Amino acid sequence: MAMRSLAVLAVALGFGAMVGCGTSEPSWNETRTFKFGPYTIQPEDDITDQCVQITLNNDSDIYISTVTLKTGTGMHHSNWFWVPEHEFPGPHWNGHNSSVDDGTFTCVDRNFDQAVAALFGGVVFAQSTQDPMEVQQFPDGDVIKIPAHSKLVSTIHLLNPGDSTLSLKPTIALTPVPEDQVTTVLAGVSFENESIALPPNAQSEFSVECDLVAADQPPPTPNWPAPTFKLYHALAHYHSLGTGMDIEAVKADGTSTSIFQTTTQIGDSLGAMLDPPFDFTGYAKIRFTCDYYNSTNGTVTWGQELTSEMCVFLAFSDSPVDWAGGVTDVESPGPPTMVGDVYTYSHPCYVVATPANE
């Protein structure tokens, strides 16, 4: 396993919107581009414990239509959330200005957790694995709402499996639209399956089926609406052993329809707009399946490191709630069923729905 080298991670803690010398900070009437880093990554570095904070300095709600992330080679992936300024405070937080703690930090030092970020904030952007430049652009009128006095927080995974030192100066840009041009405010959808254990030298697939009907949940019945939303965008996340993902909508009678499917390898975009948006009306469950070919001699389990795998999908819907869940603890996938020469596994799903855009 590639080991992290603390001495070679160069981090610049101060950054903000990219503006020319002598100019004022741009308003939220135009695209805002933020620097983070820079990072120097030595050969065999595999750095998974770092996070980034960017205070947006937005005194009012902003409506984001496009997110553009430019990283270059060495950024394995990153997941971006908006949260209120007071969440995950840094050491200098004084109750008024979170930007004093902007920059790169060790995630555990601020107790940062992606599930908590999704609960108290919302998903903004997820980078396809090892994609050095990616644009998430919604159709006209479709936006992510970021409430006033928010900040971006992201996990980042820096990876250099090569023989030469890498230097990164990443940026993330947010493009807003005026509120009077908004037609649909989107909510986040986030599911993952941590119960994966890829058999050595074999093909395998791992499925989780998540029931979104409130009446089907164990008591007390959650207070959430019927799943009559539309899905506008979906993105898969897996590592180098992943060969694809299929996201399906399942009716109460068990019949299913594919929502999104990818067989793209890492390094290319693993996300796409759904055109037209997928109408979930009449369906009860989401099923997502990750496919792998493990070419190694050992069992590969969940984790961020190069020698581990992941099974995650993120999406955006017009639901009034953020949907999340799956298998959120590392545990055994249970015994497999052989379908031809493929080891197939399934696991029960945990679902949570929280009011979106509040």
3-state secondary structure of 216: helix
184-355 to CATH, choices 2.60.120.230, 3.40.50.2300, 3.30.420.40, 3.30.830.10: 2.60.120.230
Q: Residue 58, SS3?
A: coil
Predicted pLDDT at 18: 44
* Short-list 171, 153, 186, CA closest to 83: 153
In terms of pTM, does the model score above 0.95?
Answer: no
Give residue 254's pLDDT: 95
Q: CA distances (Å), 103 to each of 31, 55, 95, 285, 339, in order? A: 20, 9, 18, 39, 48
Q: Amino acid letter at 270?
A: L
Both structure tokens of 334: 């249970």
Place of tokens 């620097």: 35
CB 233 within 8 A of CB 272: yes
Q: DSSP of 186-201, one letter per residue?
A: EEEEEEEE---EEPTT
- Nearest-angstrom CA–CA distance, 197 and 214: 31
The contacts of residue 21 (CB under 8 Å, 6+ apart) are: none
Cα–Cα distances in Å, from 209 out to 119, 133, 187?
Answer: 21, 32, 20
Which residue is listed with tokens 């109460």? 252
Q: Which fold has domain 6-180?
A: Jelly Rolls (2.60.120)
With residue 314 as reference, give the H or E element that holds it: strand 312-317
124-130-133-139 Cα dihedral, nearest 10 degrees: -40
Dist. CA 289–CA 191, nearest whole Å = 11
Which are the contacts of 304, defined by CB distance < 8 A and separation ≥ 6? Answer: 48, 157, 310
Rounded Cα distance between 99 and 87, Å, is 12
Q: Where are the domains of the chain?
A: 6-180, 184-355
CB atoms within 10 A of CB 344: 17
CB count within 10 Å of CB 327 equals 22
> How far, in Å, CA of 356 to CA of 319, rounded?
8
3-state secondary structure 183-240: CEEEEEEEEEECCCEECCCEEEEEEEEEECCHHHCCCCCCCCCCCCCEEEEEEEECCC
- On whether the CB atoms of residues 56 and 62 are closer than 8 A, the answer is yes
Q: Which among 37, 13, 34, 17 is positioned nearest to 26, based on CA atoms?
A: 17
User: pLDDT value at position 134?
Assistant: 86
Token pair of 41, please? 């990554």
Record the tokens describing residue 101, joined without a space.
Answer: 């703690």
Token pair of 184, please?
Answer: 């649909």
Same fold? 6-180, 184-355 = yes
CA separation for the pair 120, 81 (Å, rounded) = 10
- Which segments in the chain show pLDDT lower than 50? 1-24, 267
